[in-house]
Structure 1
Amino acid sequence: MEPVYAALTSGGKDSILAIQLALDEGLEVGYIVCVRPENPDSYMFHSSNLDAVHLIAERGGMEYVEIQTHGRKEEELIDLKRGLSELRIDGIIAGAIESAYQYERVSEIARSLSLHVFSPLWQKDPEWIMDEVVRRLDAIIVVCAADGLTEDILGAHIDAKLVERLKQLSRRNRIHIAGEGGEYETLALNAPFYSAPIRWSEENRRINAGRSELILNGLW
């Protein structure tokens, strides 16, 4: 039997691109695993628009698994390990780019469960990653939390023009153009492995000092 992988994703561009690259490599992605933290400031997991993830799993023909966690630092890793231990898998897929905190902890969990790790974006050139996002995905910004990223960017599709804006901001404000430092979060509305794009019927904006969020409702 072919090895079966579980993909860790919040629906954002990096983890969805990692899933697509895994499929391109011929890996069998049997599960999409979403960790839902109660704490919006989780060190490991995003919390925005997670209701989209089960739709992504459906569109990819994958089984959806949700793991609940309080989102407390380190404790949330115990919840992740427990959830993964209940699955019949051989490996996990992660979209980490440069965060040693995330990469090392996912790798440690994988080692403890005797799982392989497929992390195709790890230490790749951020500009290459953003070019792949533009070329292969339809992703929008749903959270902005950095100087220079104003609320008008919420809902913006990541295209070549937006990437150039991010590069200019990076040069001026030293932000990571792929948002690896938490500068922004995304939702991938479409990818080659989706059978149909993610849509919604209404949206709200939650604007706060330091963090603004686009909340999508009526997802389908």
Structure 2
Amino acid sequence: MLILPNTYKTFVCTLSMGFVQLSSGGKDSVYSMHRAMQQGVSFSEILTVVPRREDSYMFHYPNARWAELQARAMDLPHRFVHTEGVKERELEDLRDALASMDIDGVCSGAVKSSYQFDRIKALCDDLNLECISPLWQCDERALIHEAASVLDIVIVGVYAWGLGRDLLGRHIDEEFLAFLDVAHERYGVNYVGEGGEYETYVVDAPQFKKSIHIMDSSVVWERDSGYLSITSATLEDK
């Protein structure tokens, strides 16, 4: 048996299971997969839910289509699930996709969002699938520092007071982490951005056999928020 510990909960699964990683391409998805793999979990596929509306209740939007390139970097198959992004209906779209897959479990990057965690857990229970969330209830400040030390993370969306256009395209480094302390103190910005304050895309991780090079992108900005639209990216040897 395999035990995945975190701050408050323990998830148990067997080493022989093939898991699917729910991934938007962001740091929480990629880092949760890394943590699970450290404990011996094997993954058979990456699944990305792409909402047709930007304010999806469950799934992250900016550059989600580039999660496929991450799957290629890991030599894993990838599939998209397109949804209208309507509350609860998007879960049904995910359920239909999972029900059609030959898997034994699901791994999610939920950190503190009970809305996300509870619904994915209920969905998995309904399908008799194991559900693991290696980052669940982790200390958020410690988590972003840990993730930044392991992953190469690019900021691709900013949606909170105190986070400016100049952050788009920036890699998360020590300078940004220090800035995040200030933004958290002054404006209440969540350290991992789980409240939608900022979005990320991972260009390298330990499980990537190749790294990702963003070749071309453009900034989409409206009033006081916006995102980096990746238009071209490729894999590179490490």
Output the TM-score relative to the length of structure 2.
0.90
3-state SS in 2 of match to 1:172: helix
Amino acid corresponding to residue 22 of structure 1 in structure 2? A
Is 1:86 aligned to 2:87, yes or no? Answer: no
Is 1:21 aligned to 2:35, yes or no? Answer: yes
What does residue range 1-220 of structure 1 map to in structure 2 within 5 Å?
2-220=16-234
Structure 1: which 5+ residue stretches go unaligned?
none
Output the TM-score relative to the length of structure 1.
0.97
Assess if the C-alpha contact under 8 Å between 1:141 and 1:186 holds in 2: yes
- Match for residue 4 of structure 2? none
Assess if the C-alpha contact under 8 Å between 2:219 and 2:228 holds in 1: yes
CA offset digits 1:135-192 (Å, max 9, x no partner): 1000011000000001001111111211111111100111101101100000011000
Q: Matches of 1:108 and 1:13 in 2, distance apart?
A: 24
**Superposition RMSD in Å:** 1.1
Query: Per the alignment, do residues 210 and 80 of structure 1 end up closer, same or farther by CA in structure 2, a change over 3 Å counting?
Result: farther
Q: Matches of 2:224 and 2:231 in 1, distance apart?
A: 23
Q: Matches of 1:185 and 1:145 in 2, distance apart?
A: 8
Q: Matches of 1:211 and 1:75 in 2, distance apart?
A: 27
3-state SS in 1 of match to 2:124: helix
3-state SS in 2 of match to 1:97: coil
Shift, 1:210, TM fit: 4.1
Amino acid corresponding to residue 128 of structure 1 in structure 2? A
How much identity, in percent, do the aligned residues show?
Answer: 34
Runs (4 or more) in structure 1 with deviation over 2 Å come to none
Amino acid corresponding to residue 137 of structure 1 in structure 2? L
Q: Which moved more, 1:160-169 or 1:181-190?
A: 160-169
CA offset digits 1:7-31 (Å, max 9, x no partner): 0000000110001111111111101
Amino acid corresponding to residue 165 of structure 2 in structure 1? E
Q: Matches of 1:193 and 1:6 in 2, distance apart?
A: 14
Q: Matches of 1:16 and 1:188 in 2, distance apart?
A: 7
Q: How many residues align?
A: 220
